[in-house]
Amino acid sequence: MAVELSRSKLHDVAHMGMRATIGVIFIVHGFGKFGNPGFGGWISSMGIPAEMQIPIALAEFIPGIFLIFGIFTRISSSLLSIVMLGAIFLVKGASSLTGEGGYELDLILLAACLVIIVSGPGRISISHLIKKIPRVLQ
């Protein structure tokens, strides 16, 4: 049964949908950090240099694009997992799962990224079409 499900078109579409959804979320979050003086000031208040604003934005924006197209998905998801761990432990202090300052959304995004790391890009992806990309770079 599990083998049949993993070969079905519905599985492929659902996998691509998850990748695309996570990608869009990170593109939107990353784009909002570019040139935003409020974000620069906010990260400075946490002891992170304001110069990290652009690298943080790029660390969300570019992997989000890669996830949508299905290229470098494992590397992108790994980078986004690190970003989410930073959000959970550094930004939110892992103090409350729900409520103000809760990290439930960050945890869901982390879990989705971990699923993508394990499952790879899927069959509806540029990586699958090219097939010459080494598995580790998919």
Say what the pLDDT of residue 133 is. Answer: 67
- Say if residues 23 and 67 touch (Cβ distance below 8 Å): yes
How much is the pLDDT for 75?
95
pLDDT at 40: 86
Residue 10: CB atoms within 10 A of its CB come to: 8
Domain boundaries, the chain: 8-132
Cα gap 131→76, rounded to integer Å: 18
For the chain, give the percent of residues with pLDDT over 90.
46
CA 105, distance to chain mean position in Å, is 12
Please identify which residue in the block is written with the tokens 């996998």: 15
- Tell me the pTM: 0.84
| Spans in the chain with pLDDT lower than 50 | 1
